[in-house]
Amino acid sequence: MWSKNLKSFPPPAEELTSRLLAAAVLTQTGIPCVVWGEEALGWIHRVPTHIFYTLHLLVPEGQLEKASQTLCNLLPEYAVTDPRSDYTDGWLIMSGEKEKFQAQGRFPNASPLSRRLVHTGLDSEKEEKQTQNSRRQTHIPEYIILTPDSFFHLDATGSTSTSLVALPEPIPPSLNVRFPALPTMYDSLLSTIHAPERLEYSCGLRMEMRGFLGYLHLYCFSEYVSRGWYKEVKDLPEPIREVGLALREENQPRFWEMWLRDEPYSDDSDDDWRNGDD
């Protein structure tokens, strides 16, 4: 993995192009696509997170197979992997989860319908050198995961004009890719965490989504996190209220609960305001 650093924002054009090429290819061929995960956190929402080996893209479920075939045809260095056999390093799973998800034919940190592509050139180079250094020194994703947008309760077509955003200028003209706007990211995470099927998620996916919520709170509203506490919505700073009011109706109380309380947090408080869970 390699670190994102806010001091180097926005990233160099070469870095963006090599990392987001798959997203640009899908967009240019008319397949709606949203960049998800650490890239969305780091490049749009200014979270100083790490960028890992996998690029996670969301596409409409009806175009999932087309997207997979398109990438294999236009980026022939990538090949589809079998979820029943491909449990490489990087999956965070608990005892018993591997067998369960393998039997279901799915990857543990994604949807049952997700497709996972591997960069065969990087994989061969890694085996030849018997080291992981080669893949850690490149911005090219070693893996690409294509997941139905509905799994994360998000619309990759951008049904509203403000739900998806592009990279800030200057960027290469070819990188006309989209990321979730801040309210869209919150909506997606909160809806997914509270979805009825959440008990079927892997330990790693549950931890990842809660971690994303914590990062958004801590870095998007950093100047307000340490200002004490807020008792009512009307007491919240305007930037926080704006995001909360832009959320789906069912997610607004969940968002407010992450900010409001009747008394300050104590050092021994058991409350975890960052995870947004029940």
Reply yes or no on whether the pLDDT at 202 is more than 50: yes
The structural domains of the chain, ordered by start, are 2-180 (3.30.460)
Q: What is the pLDDT of residue 5?
A: 43
Q: What is the pLDDT of residue 62?
A: 94
Reply yes or no on whether the pLDDT at 92 is more than 60: no
Q: Are 47 and 215 in contact (CB under 8 A)?
A: yes
Q: Are 6 and 48 in contact (CB under 8 A)?
A: yes
Where residue 77 falls among pLDDT bands split at 50, 70, 90? Answer: very high
Where residue 142 falls among pLDDT bands split at 50, 70, 90? Answer: confident
Mean pLDDT of 148-172: 83
Reply yes or no on whether the pLDDT at 251 is more than 70: yes
3-state percent helix, strand, coil for the chain, nearest multiple of 5: 45, 10, 45
Mean pLDDT of 84-100: 51
Mean pLDDT of 164-183: 82
Cα 98 from Cα 102, distance rounded (Å)? 6
Q: What is the pLDDT of residue 91?
A: 45
Reply yes or no on whether the pLDDT at 261 is more than 60: yes
Phi-psi domain of 60 (left: phi exceeds 0; alpha: psi -120 through 50; beta: other) = beta
Where residue 24 falls among pLDDT bands split at 50, 70, 90? Answer: very high
Q: What is the pLDDT of residue 275?
A: 46
Give me the percent of the chain exceeding a pLDDT of 70: 68
Least confident of 75-84, 128-137, 173-182, 259-268: 128-137
Where residue 33 falls among pLDDT bands split at 50, 70, 90? Answer: very high
Q: What is the pLDDT of residue 237?
A: 93
Q: What is the pTM of this model?
A: 0.81
∠ CA 238-191-225, nearest 5°, is 35
Cα 205 from Cα 222, distance rounded (Å)? 25
Mean pLDDT of 194-221: 80
* Averaged pLDDT of the chain: 78
Reply yes or no on whether the pLDDT at 206 is more than 90: no
Reply yes or no on whether the pLDDT at 244 is more than 70: yes
Where residue 190 falls among pLDDT bands split at 50, 70, 90? Answer: very high
Reply yes or no on whether the pLDDT at 216 is more than 60: yes
Reply yes or no on whether the pLDDT at 168 is more than 50: yes
Q: Are 248 and 187 in contact (CB under 8 A)?
A: yes
